[in-house]
Homo-oligomer: A and B are copies of this chain.
């Protein structure tokens, strides 16, 4: 594909001129106006001979992948995503997001929120709209859950992340939370991704259960191509033949993604393993592999959880996890992230 990057001080007229020039060569193209930069993306074979010289053009890239805006080829290096003042994914120590699978009640959410903050979590997670395998299972508190998340955000001072499942939900929920989460089952729900591309909210995009790295980055590209450049990738386990764990945490994708994309990558050891006793070791492993963050399920009373109890930590376990995680973070921090050291050869 051909990607024309506009200079930061380029004007709308510059952009229009580039678009016209590209279209004159008989190819359609797409204008992406992001917060930091604007791009024109055109298909291979586009004649761009005159484009570089046009006013406002910073660079013309030809890339072989189908996720140009997500790629390091077009946008080199890491690009941290800021969630709230001082809470940045992809820069400095990994950021831990923690909280219950589902928002169940005011007490449950607030107690858990304060506990995870105390232990060192920087972002509060909690599901209000729950994607459940069958229609008779608890589907979440819905809008009431969103109201409780806002209350918990205020009480704890932690920014919040919650899942949305449809274009309509995304638009409605966006103003109320800090990160919109796309679940594994919706990774290729393109109608949803298109809407998220138009919203001004960071998006955490979970990997589909059987999604290749290319498919995942192309799904992210849907959001980026809409103009929303704050996408966080989340590895949450792939489906394999072995059913001892709920899924198989594929940590190899963390350094692999780092070589392909500038987007931050976090890991969800809770859904990946489905077993409380594996959450701590897999959290440490994810950090050692270079993850920019973790998404951990914590419940003030896991035995009473309405969903995913067996994989939820109680506050004490989470606190133990954070202590161990910090030690690994220190070990990693001393020399830069692992993949950078290796690639540096």
Contact = CB atoms under 8 A, between A and B. Distances in A.
A190 interface: yes
Contacts of A320: 341-342, 345
A343 interface: yes
Nearest to A336: B324
Given A213-B244, A252-B272, A281-B338, A189 B189 contact: yes
A36 interface: no
Question: Which of A131, A214, A276, A284 has the most C-beta atoms of chain B within 10 angstroms of its own C-beta?
Answer: A284
A43 B136 contact: yes
Interface in A225-269: 225-226, 238-245, 248-256, 259
A277 interface: yes
B210 A191 contact: no
A288 interface: yes
Contacts of A119: none
Question: Which of A240, A287, A288 has the most C-beta atoms of chain B within 10 angstroms of its own C-beta?
Answer: A288
Contact of A210 (B221, B241, B275): B241
Interface stretch (A12-20, A98-106, A198-206, A326-334): A326-334
A243 to B, nearest CB: 7
A212 interface: yes
Given A131-B188, A168-B167, A328-B328, A255 B240 contact: no
Contacts of A342: 276-281, 317, 320
A41 interface: yes
A7 interface: no
Nearest to A339: B281
Interface in A286-305: 286-290
A324 B335 contact: yes
Interface of A: 1, 30, 41, 43, 66-67, 131-137, 165-169, 185-186, 188-192, 194, 209-210, 212-215, 218-219, 221-222, 225-226, 238-245, 248-256, 259, 272-273, 275-282, 284-290, 316-317, 320, 323-324, 327-328, 330-332, 334-335, 338-339, 341-343, 345
Of all A-B residue pairs in the complex, the 3 with the closest CB atoms, nearest first, are A210-B210, A166-B191, A288-B288
Given A135-B221, A166-B191, A282-B289, 9 more contacts: A131-B190, A132-B190, A133-B215, A135-B226, A166-B192, A240-B248, A243-B243, A276-B342, A328-B331
